[in-house]
């Protein structure tokens, strides 16, 4: 069964991003991929997403900066952060995200998190 709300994966690690894209598509998610913050912002301007999963350490900006820019375009989007160094991030920063996963990410945990946030209705503002 396909999930109605598209998911965007943002990470410059192409191998893990492509692996997660395949896993999520197998689960029925409509997945878009961006490898940097600028590309993610462009995609967020062109299409509404239910969930954006983003890496903290992108080549062109930090994940919290990207999260703020995406929220300006899509205030209701759910944000999930992936990071290799969760313990070094502040609680205030971590609280901006619905879920925070330390890399390497367990695929089933990520799937469960996405399902938990995409099964609630999203309000679309006109």
List pLDDT tens digits, range 14-34: 999 999 999 999 999 999 999
Query: Quick one: pLDDT at residue 13?
Result: 94
Parent domain of 66? 7-87+100-118
Which of 21-25, 61-65, 88-92 has the weakest average pLDDT? 88-92
Phi, psi for residue 18 in degrees, rounded to 5: -70, -35
Q: Confidence class of residue 113 from pLDDT cuts 50, 70 and 90?
A: very high
- Confirm whether 123 is domain-assigned: no
- Confirm whether 75 is domain-assigned: yes
DSSP state at residue 57: B
The whole-angstrom separation of Cα 52 and Cα 74 is 10
Cβ count near 81 (within 10 Å):
24
- Confirm whether 50 is domain-assigned: yes
The H-or-E segment that residue 55 falls in is strand 51-55
* Number of structural domains the chain divides into: 1
The whole-angstrom separation of Cα 107 and Cα 65 is 25
- Confirm whether 68 is domain-assigned: yes
Q: Confidence class of residue 126 from pLDDT cuts 50, 70 and 90?
A: very low
- Confirm whether 49 is domain-assigned: yes
Q: Confidence class of residue 86 from pLDDT cuts 50, 70 and 90?
A: confident
User: For position 47, which CATH number holds?
Assistant: 3.40.50.2300
Q: What angle do CA 115, 23, 50 make, to 5 degrees?
A: 35
Count Cα neighbours of 84 within 13 Å in the Cβ-side half-sphere: 7
- Confirm whether 74 is domain-assigned: yes
In the predicted structure, residue 125 carries a pLDDT above the cut 60 = no
Residue pLDDT, tens place only, 64-79: 999 999 999 999 999 9
- Confirm whether 1 is domain-assigned: no
């Amino acid at each position: 069964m396909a999930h109605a709300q598209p998911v965007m994966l943002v990470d410059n690690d192409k191998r893990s991003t492509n692996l997660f894209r395949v896993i999520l598509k197998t689960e029925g998610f409509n997945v878009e991929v961006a490898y940097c913050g600028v590309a993610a912002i462009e995609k967020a301007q062109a299409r509404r997403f239910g969930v954006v999963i983003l890496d903290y350490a992108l080549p062109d900006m930090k994940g919290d900066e990207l999260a703020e820019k995406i929220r300006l375009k899509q205030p209701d989007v759910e944000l999930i952060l992936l990071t290799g160094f969760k313990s070094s991030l502040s609680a205030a920063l971590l609280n901006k995200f619905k879920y925070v996963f330390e890399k390497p990410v367990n695929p089933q945990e990520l799937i469960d998190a996405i399902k938990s946030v995409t099964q609630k209705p999203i309000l679309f503002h006109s």
